[in-house]
Structure 1
Amino acid sequence: MSIAQIIQDAWNRQAKWLIVLRPLSWLYRFGFVVNRHLYLSGLKERYRAPVPVMIIGNITVGGSGKTPLLIQLVKYLQQHQVRVGVISRGYGGQGPFPAQVTLDSEPEMVGDEPCLIVQSTDVPMVVGPNRKASIELLLKNHQLDLIISDDGLQHWALDRQIEWIVLDYNRGLGNQKILPEGYLREPTSRLAHSTVIEHAHHSQSKLNMHLQVAEPYLLNPSFDQAEVFDAKLDYYAVVGIGFPQRFYKTLESMGVQQFQCHEFPDHYDYQIEDLQFEDANPIITTEKDAVKLLPLLKQHPDFQREIWVVPVEAVLSNSCYDILKQQLNELGIALS
């Protein structure tokens, strides 16, 4: 197990030994506060895009449901004739950056989540660590009303008009400590200055979302397979996401009780050996992982094991759409 996985497990368990990392947390917080002050005071220049920017991010490390939320918002805006584009850091991608993401883009070049976003919405999208360069390339090729930044909440060099923070209510804030003692990127006080969307089935806030599971599908179908999902089988749960425990709970909610967990780091670059096991039991995984696995299967057409994919869709409360309309209206963006 890598050091990153050991710390991730300690965060989830709120292990007491994490206190030894507190001096590093103080150092991280000091650097973060100084950097934020330099940008917000004008001592360091912030880039203001020619069109409004909305950031969807979180204050925690690991998955929060941010990507399904973004996909749902993009679909909603497209349905209401808002010309929307998306930028992202492109974690896991090799570049060169900035890079346009298309339906033919490879995850190893632009990242797995951008590929999933474009495959789900066909939205104009550019990725790269330089957000200004990404926005300029996006606007060079598209007339847009709004740009959504996938993450970048702590990227103070980019000015923004709307901030949505996704808070996983089930995971919570852990020990509420800053990295690396805890998994917070910012203090909890940050939540008071943005629109907070609680991710939970039974939320205490009107602004909430949950993930709705759709029927699993085969990533590698063939004519000799029934292609009917059977929850009673034994599965290998192969996941490389920020918070795999959410996926395991999803499997249990679907009636899948027998599965062996095989966890990999977030944005993991899979090899075919990672999918080889002693028996012929099927694999079950997430859509984000499937984006990485599909090119691998094309490279190895003789691979025979079934790989089932569990699709999820973000379901937002009416209040989420109400506040979005209000925020966009204040920016002069009307929904049809």
Structure 2
Amino acid sequence: MSFAQFIQDAWNKQAKWLVVLRPLALLYRGGSVLNQKLYASGMKAAYTAPVPVMVIGNITVGGSGKTPLLIHLVNYLHSLNVRVGVISRGYGGKGPFPAYVDFESTPDMVGDEPCLIVQSTGAPMAVGANRQQSIELLLSRHELDLIISDDGLQHLALNRQLEWIVLDNNRGLGNEKILPEGYLREPKSRLNTATVIEHAAQPSSALNMHLEVAEPYLLNAIEGKVFNPQEAFYAVVGIGFPQRFYRTLESMGIQQFQCHEFPDHHDYEIDDLQFEDHQPIITTEKDAVKILPLLKQYPDFNREIWVVPVEAVLSPACYQVLHQQLAQLGLTLNEGQL
């Protein structure tokens, strides 16, 4: 087990020994507060884009469902003829940055989530640590009405007009402690400063979403194969919160699966997919974008790899708030589309 997996497991279990990391958490928090004050005072300059910027992020480490939400919002806005561009850090990509992401981009160059976003939306997208450079790259190629930032909630070098925070109720806020004692990037009070979207099957807030599972498909086309949930699977995942995927499998009626977890944004090798028998693999769309290039490198690999697609389903209140917020920014949407 890697250290990343070890500490993630401790966070999920709210292990008592995490208290020994409190001095590091205080240092982390102190650095964050200092950084905020430097930007607030103008000693550090923040970039303001010529078009509105919306950040979709979270205050926790690990998955919350923000990428499916972003994909849904981009497709929804496209249906209303809003010209949307997307930026991201491009975590896991080698660059060079800023990098423009298109259908030919590969996860090793631009990161796995950007590849998934572009494949799912066709939106103009650029990635890199310097968000200003990414935005300028997008605007040099496209006329845009809105830019959505995939994560970057804590990236104060970029001014933004809208912030949506996804709060996953399955995971919650853990012990509500700051990194590394807990998995919060910012204090719980940060939720009071943005639009919070509750990710839950049984939400308590009007602003909520859940993930709806579509029919699994084969990553490596094998003629005549039909998905059978009664089979035994190897659940291969490299995401921030793999337990959500396991719950999804159970909700699909899959009861026989062995968990094989890797760190978030894991760079897969063919050996990661090799097992002693021929049981099929089942994985997420985010993992699939990294596994697919391996299948092209190893055409003789014949184990079935099933992919479980999910789509964010938003409550009506989310669309109402979105329309109101964008109208305040001068973007008037067709209310009949709600």
When the two structures are superposed, what TM-score results if normalisation uses the length of structure 2?
A: 0.98
2:273 aligned residue: 275
3-state SS, counterpart of residue 249 of structure 1: helix
Deviations 1:235-258 (A, max 9, x none): 000000000000000000000000
What amino acid does structure 1 have at the position aligned with 2:13? Answer: R
2:238 aligned residue: 240
1:180 aligns with 2:166: no
Alpha-carbon distance in structure 2 between the residues aligned to 1:41 and 1:205? 35
1:58 aligned residue: 58
Aligned-pair identity in percent equals 75
3-state SS, counterpart of residue 149 of structure 1: strand
What amino acid does structure 1 have at the position aligned with 2:95? Answer: G
Q: Report if aligned partners of 1:217, 1:227 keep a CA contact under 8 Å in 2.
A: no
1:218 aligned residue: 218
Deviations 1:98-139 (A, max 9, x none): 001001110100000000000000000000000000000000
1:322 aligned residue: 320
1:159 aligns with 2:159: yes
3-state SS, counterpart of residue 118 of structure 1: helix
Alpha-carbon distance in structure 2 between the residues aligned to 1:258 and 1:329? 49
Q: Report if aligned partners of 2:283, 2:305 keep a CA contact under 8 Å in 1.
A: yes
Deviations 1:291-329 (A, max 9, x none): 000001000000010000000000000000000000000
> How far has the Cα of 1:41 moved from its partner?
2.3
1:334 aligns with 2:332: yes
Superposition pairs of residues 113-132 of structure 1, within 5 angstroms: 113-132=113-132
Superposition pairs of residues 188-267 of structure 1, within 5 angstroms: 188-223=188-223, 226-267=224-265
Deviations 1:197-251 (A, max 9, x none): 000011000000000000000000123xx32110000000000000000000000
Q: Report if aligned partners of 2:222, 2:304 keep a CA contact under 8 Å in 1.
A: no
> How far has the Cα of 1:175 moved from its partner?
0.2
1:312 aligned residue: 310
When the two structures are superposed, what TM-score results if normalisation uses the length of structure 1?
A: 0.99
Alpha-carbon distance in structure 2 between the residues aligned to 1:119 and 1:83? 17
1:68 aligned residue: 68
Alpha-carbon distance in structure 1 between the residues aligned to 2:318 and 2:24? 37
Alpha-carbon distance in structure 2 between the residues aligned to 1:7 and 1:171? 15
2:40 aligned residue: 40
Over the aligned positions, Cα root-mean-square deviation in angstroms equals 0.6
Contiguous gaps of at least 5 residues in structure 1: none
3-state SS, counterpart of residue 170 of structure 1: coil
Deviations 1:69-113 (A, max 9, x none): 000000010000101000000001000000010011101000000
Alpha-carbon distance in structure 2 between the residues aligned to 1:334 and 1:322? 12
Alpha-carbon distance in structure 1 between the residues aligned to 2:322 and 2:105? 30
What amino acid does structure 2 have at the position aligned with 1:289? Answer: D
2:89 aligned residue: 89
Aligned length: 334
Q: Report if aligned partners of 1:281, 1:305 keep a CA contact under 8 Å in 2.
A: yes
1:23 aligned residue: 23
Q: Report if aligned partners of 2:92, 2:111 keep a CA contact under 8 Å in 1.
A: yes
Alpha-carbon distance in structure 1 between the residues aligned to 2:78 and 2:40? 32
1:292 aligned residue: 290
Alpha-carbon distance in structure 1 between the residues aligned to 2:185 and 2:85? 26
Alpha-carbon distance in structure 1 between the residues aligned to 2:205 and 2:127? 32
Structure 1 consecutive aligned stretches of length 4 or more whose deviation exceeds 3 Å: none
> How far has the Cα of 1:42 moved from its partner?
1.6
What amino acid does structure 1 have at the position aligned with 2:241? Answer: F
Alpha-carbon distance in structure 2 between the residues aligned to 1:283 and 1:220? 11
Deviations 1:6-64 (A, max 9, x none): 10000000000000100000000000010011112222111000000000000000000
Alpha-carbon distance in structure 1 between the residues aligned to 2:83 and 2:270? 39
Alpha-carbon distance in structure 2 between the residues aligned to 1:255 and 1:104? 35
Alpha-carbon distance in structure 2 between the residues aligned to 1:216 and 1:4? 29
1:100 aligned residue: 100
3-state SS, counterpart of residue 171 of structure 2: coil
What amino acid does structure 2 have at the position aligned with 1:38? Answer: L
